[in-house]
Structure 1
Amino acid sequence: MADPCMKMVLVTPEIPYNTGAIGRTSVALNLELILIKPYGFSLDEKAVRRAGTDYWKYVNLTEYDSWQCFLDDQKPSLDQLFFFEEHGSQTIYDPVYPQDAYLVFGCESKGLPPEVLNGMDDRIFSLPMLDTRVRSLNLANVATAVIYQAMRGKLGG
C-alpha cells in the first residue's frame, strides 16, 4: 500500500495560470490535485498548459462536479480537512498536518463558498500579511507556501 499523500483541492478555480502553476507544484511534490467544478476556464486552455509547462501531463488530477461529489467519493474525516482563507482565525503555522491532509483553496475572486465553510470555523487558516494595504495574495503563491509548510517534516524542515 502506498504512503498516504497530501492533496491540493481547488474549489471552482477561475484563473488558468494559477491552476497550471499549482499543478506544476503538485507534480514536483508528488501530490494529487483535486479540482471542483465549475471552472472559470477549460483545462485545455493554453494558459493552463503554459503555467504547468510540459509537466501538466504528469499531474495526478481528479475532478469532481461539486463539493458534495468530492465529499461522497473521498470521504475525508474532519481532521484531514484544512481550509485556507485570508480571514482564517489561525495561521498556516498553527496546525500539525497529517500526511493524508486535504488542503482546500477557493476561487480567486470569492474564496471558498459558505456551504463549504459552514461549521468549519476551527478548520480555517490564513497566510499572515503584515501590510494592510494588501487585500489578498495570489492563489498559486498561497497554495505553494501552504503545501511547503504542511510538508515541512516530510521534506526535512
Structure 2
Amino acid sequence: MTEISPLRIALFEPQIPPNTGNIARTSAAFRVPLTLIEPLGFQVDDRSVRRAGLDYWPHVQLSIASNFSAFKAELLPDQRLIGCSRRGGASLSSFEFRRGDVLLFGREDTGLPDPIREACDTILTIPMPGAADDAGKGGVRSLNLSVACALVTYVAGEQLRLW
C-alpha cells in the first residue's frame, strides 16, 4: 500500500513560471510534495521556472497530472482536497487540517473554476483585513499565488506538527 504524504501541494493549470518556481522552493523547504495539473502555461524545463526554483529542484518531490480528472483519480478515499481561494471559503485561521490533506491552488488569472471548486471537499480562504470588496475595489484583490501557497502550507504543517 502506498504511504500518503502528510501534506501535499497541487497547482491547477499554473500559468506563470516564476510563481511555480517559487512554490517549488516552498515545496522543497517544507518537504511537501508538489503536483502540477496540466495544461501548464509553460514547459517545466522553462528557464524562468528553473531560475525561480534556483538549485532546489532536485529536492522537490514533483509529479505532473495530465488533467484534473487524472489528478483526482490518484487521491485515496481518506485524502481531503482543500481548494484554496480568495473568496467564499472557511477561514485559514480556524480551519482544522488532517494528515493526508491536499492543498489545491488555482490559476493565477482565474483561480479555481466552479467545477473544480465543487470537486473539493472544502474551500479555504486566507483572511485579509485589507481585501477589496466583491467588486474588486477598495483594497487588495488577492495575494500572489506563491505567497498564498507558502502561508497555507506553513499553517497546515505547523498545525499538523510536521516541523
For the residues of structure 2 that align with 1:144 and 1:151, how far apart are their CA atoms? 10
Deviations 1:39-81 (A, max 9, x none): 111111111111110001221111111111011122354x621
Q: Which amino acid aligns with 2:24?
A: G
Q: 1:137 to 1:101 in 2, by over 3 A?
A: same
Deviations 1:82-136 (A, max 9, x none): 111100331112221112110000000000122211264x711111111221111
For the residues of structure 2 that align with 1:143 and 1:73, how far apart are their CA atoms? 21
Deviations 1:121-155 (A, max 9, x none): x7111111112211111000000000000011315
For the residue of structure 2 that corresponds to 1:82, the secondary structure is strand
Q: Which runs of 5+ in 1 are unaligned?
A: none
Runs of 4+ in structure 1 deviating by more than 4 angstroms, as ranges, are none
Does residue 93 of structure 1 match 2:93? yes
For the residues of structure 2 that align with 1:119 and 1:50, how far apart are their CA atoms? 33
**2:128 paired residue number:** 129
In the alignment, is the contact (CA less than 8 A) between 2:5 and 2:33 conserved in 1?
no
After TM superposition, the score normalised by the length of structure 2 is 0.86
For the residues of structure 1 that align with 2:114 and 2:93, how far apart are their CA atoms? 24
Alignment of 1:28-67 (within 5 A): 28-67=29-68
Q: Which runs of 5+ in 2 are unaligned?
A: 133-138
Equivalent residue in structure 2 for 1:151, among 138, 154, 157: 157
After TM superposition, the score normalised by the length of structure 1 is 0.90
For the residues of structure 2 that align with 1:36 and 1:30, how far apart are their CA atoms? 19
Count residues in correspondence: 154
CA RMSD of aligned residues (A): 1.9
Percent of aligned positions with the same letter in both sequences? 35
In the alignment, is the contact (CA less than 8 A) between 2:13 and 2:38 conserved in 1?
yes
